Amino acid sequence: MNEHSHGRLIIVSNRVAIPKRRGAVAGGLAVGVLGALREQGGMWFGWSGKLTDRSDAEPEIVRKGNIEFATIDLNEQDFEHYYNGYSNKVLWPVCHYLLDFLIYDSADFDGYRRVNQAFARKLASLLRPDDIIWVHDYHLIPLAAELRSAGVDNPIGFFLHVPFPSYEAFRAVPGHEFLLRALTAYDVVGFHTPRDLKAFRTCLEEPIVDATFIDDTRVRVGDGELIADVFPIGIDVDEIQKLSSDSQSMKTVQRMVSSLDGRQLLIGVDRLDYSKGLKLRLRSYERLLERYPNAQRNVTFIQIAPPTRTGVRAYDEIRSELEQTSGHINGRFAESDWVPIRYLNKGVDRKPLMGFFRNADVGLVTPVRDGMNLVAKEYVAAQDPRNPGMLVLSSLTGAACELTDAIIVNPYDRDDVADGIANALSMSLDERKERTASMIEVLRKNDITAWRTRFVDALMRKRVGPRLDA
């Protein structure tokens, strides 16, 4: 692929990650998207991170190499409705089957539509006829429909980074009919797992849109054809292996290791989000200490949880709940020379983080629901192949569809998780090596390059049209 033969790739996401801010938490999406843009050349369009009281600001464009970063400021009130409101109080919880967290306000829905209209209006003026457009995530579901009404007929694809709920959950979303129709305005719609695709197809069976299934991935909608398929996101295995092995000489990593005093290490790394099952995870660890008294004094659990979406009530609440729970468990079990949980309410730079992974005997990834979960994949890739640690992984993550050689647990069952951890802590070296090697094989097959190449190829086929498809 190159810039001249294929036109530009246009990436659209809520936030644009302009590569420079050191120490920033790299979102799951940034790494893959930048790789695709570097390869093909193009533009990344989205919110600048800045709020304004105006609504007519022009996009600001910064060029780096063959990539343009085009960002727009958003009106403060619109942003509150679109982002904190409809996106994160309605779509996020429902996509994670956590309906108790759903808080709906019709003003939020209006704001969501307004911001998508503003995105479309401002993007449309920057487009060229041979561009292909790849839209990311639940914040921007209506974007293709808005672009189409602005006269854009380029191929437009959509990738959902969170789970797609089955119809019985989806129909709880006020505005779900609108969202479903909007999704069918895309040429390609992608999900992490076959389960998400299946859930989407059950929604298409409802008499909301006029859809006919042609085969496993092609759907006829009205006069058009939609591709709905599975594109599991992955990681750059070599990059992680290099970071994790290079980081062993870093002071931060060495100090962490020596502070363990020979104890086994459990690690968890998650944005502070209620979908990540953090409170249950702490309770499961407490259960481990109860059921396996040997673990007391011999195991240390480091949980890294950088805050996100601060200002949304549910997020502020979970933060104080976790402080209480970890305090309670430490108070119950700590000795003068041992604390069971080290709870860090902040991020760690990427390189030492991979070094922490490499030194951890157990990676604990127990969300109550997750689209994929890249931490699980990074943990496995970061292991020393001569003495790898073991992943304990929630069955309710997308990653569990691929990493079947991890220890798979039900995050709601504290005994199951505690037993899973105990099993990981005592697993023989041969078994750990064998399971890790087979997981690395999967990680390489579905890596970050495979993810973006498969998606962009599917979208590109839409551009050349049905003549070449046949």
Q: How many residues bind ligand GDG (CB under 6 A)?
A: 24
Give me the least distance between CB of 455 and ligand GDG, in Å please. 12
Helix (H) or strand (E) run with residue 269 in it: strand 264-269
Q: Which of residues 144-163 bind ligand GDG (CB under 6 A)?
A: 161-162
Residue 213's CB: how many other CB atoms inside 10 A? 13
One of 25, 334, 427, 450 touching ligand GDG (CB under 6 A): 25
Give me the least distance between CB of 160 and ligand GDG, in Å please. 9
Q: Is 374 in the site for ligand GDG (CB under 6 A)?
A: yes
Q: What angle do CA 389, 391, 396 make, to 5 degrees?
A: 175
Give me the least distance between CB of 31 and ligand GDG, in Å please. 7
Give me the least distance between CB of 376 and ligand GDG, in Å please. 7
Residue with smaller CB distance to ligand GDG, 118 or 365: 365
Q: Is 68 in the site for ligand GDG (CB under 6 A)?
A: no
Q: Give me the residue label for tokens 């659209």.
A: 12
The residue annotated as part of the active site, out of 73, 187, 370, 416, is: 370
Q: Give me the residue label for tokens 């970071």.
A: 243
Q: Is 176 among the residues known to form the active site? A: no
The DSSP bridge pattern shows strands 188-191 and 211-213 to be: unpaired
Q: Is 347 in the site for ligand GDG (CB under 6 A)?
A: yes
The answer to whether 17 and 140 have CB atoms below 8 angstroms apart is no
Residue with smaller CB distance to ligand GDG, 282 or 396: 396
Stretch that binds ligand GDG, among 69-77, 259-267, 349-357, 409-417 (CB under 6 A): 349-357
Q: Is 288 in the site for ligand GDG (CB under 6 A)?
A: no
The residue annotated as part of the active site, out of 81, 96, 136, 161, is: 161
Stretch that binds ligand GDG, among 281-289, 290-298, 343-351, 413-421 (CB under 6 A): 343-351
Give me the least distance between CB of 166 and ligand GDG, in Å please. 17
Give me the least distance between CB of 466 and ligand GDG, in Å please. 30
**Nearest residue relative to ligand GDG (C-beta):** 28
- How far, rounded to the nearest angstrom, does the alpha carbon of residue 101 sit from its chain's CA centroid? 19
Q: Is 236 among the residues known to form the active site? A: no
The answer to whether 11 and 36 have CB atoms below 8 angstroms apart is yes
Q: Which of residues 303-322 bind ligand GDG (CB under 6 A)?
A: 304, 306
Give me the least distance between CB of 47 and ligand GDG, in Å please. 17
- How far, rounded to the nearest angstrom, does the alpha carbon of residue 463 sit from its chain's CA centroid? 28
Residue with smaller CB distance to ligand GDG, 370 or 416: 370
Give me the least distance between CB of 29 and ligand GDG, in Å please. 6
One of 37, 269, 295, 329 touching ligand GDG (CB under 6 A): 269
Q: Binding marks (x or -) toward ligand GDG, 111..150, rule CB under 6 A?
A: ----------------------------------------
- Give the start-end residues of each E strand in 216-263: 218-221, 224-230
One of 11, 16, 29, 421 touching ligand GDG (CB under 6 A): 29
Give me the least distance between CB of 356 and ligand GDG, in Å please. 10
Q: Is 371 in the site for ligand GDG (CB under 6 A)?
A: yes
Helix (H) or strand (E) run with residue 14 in it: strand 9-15
Residue 313 has φ and ψ, to the nearest 5°, of -55, -45
Stretch that binds ligand GDG, among 60-68, 105-113, 239-247, 370-378 (CB under 6 A): 370-378
Cα 226 from Cα 239, distance rounded (Å): 35
Cα 424 from Cα 389, distance rounded (Å): 8
Cα 195 from Cα 146, distance rounded (Å): 28
Q: Is 203 in the site for ligand GDG (CB under 6 A)?
A: no
Cα 366 from Cα 240, distance rounded (Å): 21
Q: Is 174 in the site for ligand GDG (CB under 6 A)?
A: no
DSSP, residue by residue, 154-165: S-EEEE-SSPPP
Stretch that binds ligand GDG, among 65-73, 326-334, 347-355, 404-412 (CB under 6 A): 347-355
Q: Residue 469: left (phi > 0), alpha (psi -120 to 50), or beta?
A: alpha
CB neighbour burial string for 228-248, b if at least 16 within 10 angstroms, e if fewer: bbbbbbbbbbebbbebbeebe
Q: Give me the residue label for tokens 């023989």.
A: 428
Residue 398's CB: how many other CB atoms inside 10 A? 27
Q: Residue 250: left (phi > 0), alpha (psi -120 to 50), or beta?
A: beta
Residue with smaller CB distance to ligand GDG, 90 or 233: 233
Cα 337 from Cα 333, distance rounded (Å): 11
Known catalytic residues are 161, 370
Name the site residues for ligand GDG (rule: CB under 6 A). Answer: 25-29, 161-162, 233, 269, 271, 304, 306, 347-350, 353, 370-375, 378
